[in-house]
Amino acid sequence: MASVKDFVASVGGICGAETEVIVNLKPESRDAAIATIKERCAIKKSTGNFMFELEFGGITFRLFMSGKLIFRRVKDRVELDRLMAALLLK
């Protein structure tokens, strides 16, 4: 059975006025992960086929076709793990 670790290469954070969490997808599973995420989310805005601003479960985040996701206002790692599982796992 697949797990979030099968799709996620790294997770990092940026502290500032608003805390951001950056998730990088593994290159070998990036395309499948991006397709699944786009299916499950509402697209709020897109910049061509480069960047998408998506909404899922009341959380807005950005998805880049390079495999980078940027989340704002995620409370903690537990919430991020739940969100990533809901986005990636079938």
Give the contacts of 87 (CB within 8 A, at least 6 positions apart): 36, 37, 40, 41, 56
The confidence score (pLDDT) of residue 29 equals 95
User: Domain range holding 20?
Assistant: 4-88
What CA–CA distance (Å, rounded) separates 79 from 77?
5
What is the rounded radius of gyration, in angstroms, for the C-alpha atoms of the chain?
12
pLDDT digits (tens, 9 = 90+) for 29-80: 999 999 999 999 999 999 988 999 999 999 999 999 999 999 988 888 899 9
Q: What is the 3-state secondary structure (H, E, C) of 38-87?
A: HHHCEEEEEECCCEEEEEECCEEEEEECCCEEEEECCCCHHHHHHHHHHH
Q: How many domains does the chain have?
A: 1
Give CA–CA dist 85/78, Å, rounded: 11
Give the pLDDT confidence score for residue 70 in this predicted structure: 96
What is the CATH number for 15? 3.30.310
Q: What confidence tens digit (pLDDT) does each residue in 3-21 have?
A: 999 999 999 987 666 778 9
The pLDDT value recorded for residue 90 is: 78
